[in-house]
Chain A
Amino acid sequence: NAGVTQTPKFQVLKTGQSMTLQCAQDMNHNSMYWYRQDPGMGLRLIYYSASEGTTDKGEVPNGYNVSRLNKREFSLRLESAAPSQTSVYFCASSQNTGAGEKLFFGSGTQLSVL
């Protein structure tokens, strides 16, 4: 039972390059999330998808796009990477959004933008 799987684990980009972070969950969860983790800033929500077919902005959506490809997969795209996007990215999923929901996290993607 894999849970939440993210790829790649590490990535180095040059400023202006684009890339897509992949996330898949096998728990039949309805809701999925993308967070970034920065020193002193904690975890900040980039985008989330409450259910298949819907996406919404979180706290720091600028410079990112997402696609809820199907119930299992939720990808995060950087169209033109900037050094400020150097961070560790976490995907998470939960059965639903709302009170009491437990999030399951992926192992993270460490992204460096030079």
Chain B
Amino acid sequence: AQRVTQPEKLLSVFKGAPVELKCNYSYSGSPELFWYVQYSRQRLQLLLRHISRESIKGFTADLNKGETSFHLKKPFAQEEDSAMYYCALIGFQKLVFGTGTRLLVSP
């Protein structure tokens, strides 16, 4: 079975501080992992996917197969980064989400 775990429900940091949102997964095959973000009063949208190895809005995420992790990182948080972040894994034709982490960036 595929499973995504986000251990933190809430992460609160000050503007300019580094951010790391944790994501661990369980999947028997070769995983495809994503981060989705939901800003206040907006629809859920894709932030980045591991196969693209991209940096979006200063965020990066590296797939670590040894640790089965896909943590989302940003060196300097901005207030506009405050949102709900979901890690997701695609396997067996289905996209499965973690429980989400709310990031709150204070001035």
Interface residues of A (CB under 8 A from B): 33, 35, 40-45, 48, 50, 56, 58-59, 90, 92, 97-103, 105-108
Q: Is A50 a contact partner of B96 (Cβ separation < 8 A)?
A: no
Closest 5 CB pairs of A and B: A42-B99, A43-B97, A97-B93, A105-B44, A99-B32
Task: A43 to B96: give the CA distance in the assembly, Å.
Answer: 8
Q: Is B43 a contact partner of A59 (Cβ separation < 8 A)?
A: no
Chain A proximity of B96: nearest CB distance (Å): 7
Q: Is A101 a contact partner of B94 (Cβ separation < 8 A)?
A: no
Interface residues of B (CB under 8 A from A): 6, 9, 32, 34, 36, 43-46, 49, 51, 86, 88, 90, 93-100
Q: Pick from B36, B43, B49, B94: contact of A100, CB below 8 A.
A: B49
Considering the complex, give the chain A residue whose CB is closest to the CB of B9: A40
Q: Which residues of B contact A58 (CB under 8 A)?
A: 94
Task: A56 to B100: give the CA distance in the assembly, Å.
Answer: 24
Q: Is A43 a contact partner of B86 (Cβ separation < 8 A)?
A: yes
Q: Which residues of A contact B51 (CB under 8 A)?
A: 99-100
Chain B proximity of A72: nearest CB distance (Å): 18
Task: A12 to B94: give the CA distance in the assembly, Å.
Answer: 29
Q: Which residues of A contact B96 (CB under 8 A)?
A: 45, 59
Q: Is A98 a contact partner of B99 (Cβ separation < 8 A)?
A: no
Q: Is B95 a contact partner of A99 (Cβ separation < 8 A)?
A: no
Q: Is B43 a contact partner of A42 (Cβ separation < 8 A)?
A: no
Q: Is B99 a contact partner of A41 (Cβ separation < 8 A)?
A: yes
Task: A102 to B47: give the CA distance in the assembly, Å.
Answer: 10
Chain B proximity of A46: nearest CB distance (Å): 11
Q: Which residues of B contact A48 (CB under 8 A)?
A: 93-94
